[in-house]
Amino acid sequence: MPAQPPLYNDSVAASNPLRAEQARELERYIEHLKTDKSRRLSDIKKLRQRFAESIGYPPPGKPDPKEPASFTQIGEDSLGVYYRAMIPILPGVHAEGIYITPKNATGRVPLVISMHGGGGSPEVALFNGGANYHDMVRGGVKNGYAVFAPQHLFRADGFPGDIRTRTDERLKLVGTSLTAVEIAKITRSLDVLLKRPELDPKRVAMVGLSYGGYYALVTPALEPRIKVAVSSCYFGVQEWRYEHDELSVPSDFRFPDRFTQLLDSDLVALICPRALLIQAGKSDDDDHRAGGVKLAPASAEHYKKVGKGDNFEFLIFDGGHEFHDPSAWAFLKKHL
């Protein structure tokens, strides 16, 4: 049997320049997509639908209609009465938080959703004056509003430290996301809360710090019942991080078109013309301020186009990573 000619082999190193060029090509393509204005949606209805689809909202399923929400009194002080709220929102899933009714209320009162930040809880936002939350929770009660302070998923006893990331990635594999579920914890709680006799269902606001500031942006973008929002120390953070180090963007801020059609300034368009105040601390880290400075003019433009320029404010206050009470409560008093 005649000997077969040797099979062709190329040098392994021959692919090195080709692989490097692939990396450069994809990097250029990413930059092209980020700046390709032809792909951007200008129709608000379609943009809202795109955002909802991108995060898998609403999350599939309904709660057991036979399971009632519960409000258990846990405390009382000179300002209000405190309840532990447990509200079914999905099959086997509840929204949990602290609900406070003001003692100085006469007639029906507005509702303020007060959203804690990363690693926090409603209790942290209330404890010993609230630390950097200041009066983000009790301030609403002092102003005669009822307050719902929901609990979102962060550190949990008996679970790994990265439980939030793990849960989000698993939810994305089954068609939704942690962002979608946590928005639903608020929107479906409103279905229950706004039936309470002490509340005025037409006067709803939302405030939040840091991670809570994220939810004070994305929740009103999908929930029209929220008429006024204050987002503190969040706006433009992920855009800044993506430009400087894309790997620092946490899992639950990653969804399709996040940095093309769904910049924070695009989400503002979904809130407009409802009132929105964005706060940033002058001495906070760059990523919690600089991105917002860059995006704020585009956000303001949405309001100017519909003749509601006074409904949008972007404030850089003297302070750090904290809730700025004076501007927030003045803004709610003006618009709620």
pLDDT tens figures, 234-288: 999 999 999 888 668 888 899 999 999 999 999 999 999 999 999 999 999 999 9
According to DSSP, residue 199 is labeled E
Angle between the N-to-C axes of helices 163-173 and 178-193, in degrees from 0 to 180, rounded to the nearest 10: 90
Cross-strand bridge partners of residue 24: none
Cross-strand bridge partners of residue 86: 70, 96
- pLDDT higher at 154 or 314: 314
- pLDDT higher at 128 or 121: 121
Q: Where do the structural domains in the chain lie, given as residue ranges?
A: 44-335
Q: How far apart are CA 181 and CA 55, in angstroms?
A: 9
Topology (CATH) of 44-335: Rossmann fold (3.40.50)
Angle between the N-to-C axes of helices 264-271 and 290-305, in degrees from 0 to 180, rounded to the nearest 10: 30
pLDDT at 129 over 80: no
Q: Which residue has the tokens 């924070």?
A: 264
| Structure confidence at residue 14 (pLDDT) | 86
Confirm if 187 and 219 have CB atoms less than 8 A apart. yes
pLDDT at 91 over 80: yes
pLDDT at 106 over 90: no
pLDDT, one tens digit per residue, over 41-89 is 889 999 999 999 999 999 999 998 899 999 999 999 999 999 999 999 9
Spatial strand order of the sheet with 228-232 comes to: 70-76, 80-90, 93-102, 146-150, 109-115, 199-209, 228-232, 275-281, 312-317
Average model confidence (pLDDT) across the chain: 94
pLDDT at 108 over 70: yes
Instruction: Please enumerate in sequence order all residues whose Cβ is within 8 A of that of 190, keeping only pairs 6 or more positions apart, or say none.
Output: 111, 204, 223, 225
Confirm if 149 and 55 have CB atoms less than 8 A apart. no
Q: For residue 144, give the nearest of 203, 192, 231 by alpha carbon.
A: 203
Element containing residue 318 per DSSP (H, E): none
CA dihedral 170, 176, 182, 185 (to 10 degrees): -120
pLDDT at 127 over 80: no
Q: Which of 26-30, 163-167, 332-336 has the lowest mean pLDDT?
A: 26-30
Instruction: Please enumerate in sequence order all residues whose Cβ is within 8 A of that of 309, keeping only pairs 6 or more positions apart, or say none.
Output: 300, 303
Type of residue found at 51: F
Q: How far apart are CA 87 and CA 81, in angstroms?
A: 18
Q: Would you give the end-to-end CA distance of the chain in angstroms?
A: 92
Confirm if 293 and 236 have CB atoms less than 8 A apart. yes
Q: For residue 206, give the nearest of 132, 273, 110 by alpha carbon.
A: 110
pLDDT, one tens digit per residue, over 212-226 is 999 999 999 999 999
Over its C-alpha atoms, the chain yields an Rg (Å, rounded) of 23
pLDDT at 128 over 80: no
Is residue 139 very low, low, confident or very high in pLDDT (cuts 50, 70, 90)? very high
pLDDT at 312 over 90: yes
φ and ψ of 251, to 5 deg: -55, -45
| Structure confidence at residue 247 (pLDDT) | 66
Report the sign of the C-alpha dihedral through residues 18, 23, 26, 31, in that order: negative
Is residue 120 very low, low, confident or very high in pLDDT (cuts 50, 70, 90)? confident
Strand ranges (DSSP E) for the chain? 70-76, 80-90, 93-102, 109-115, 146-150, 199-209, 228-232, 275-281, 312-317
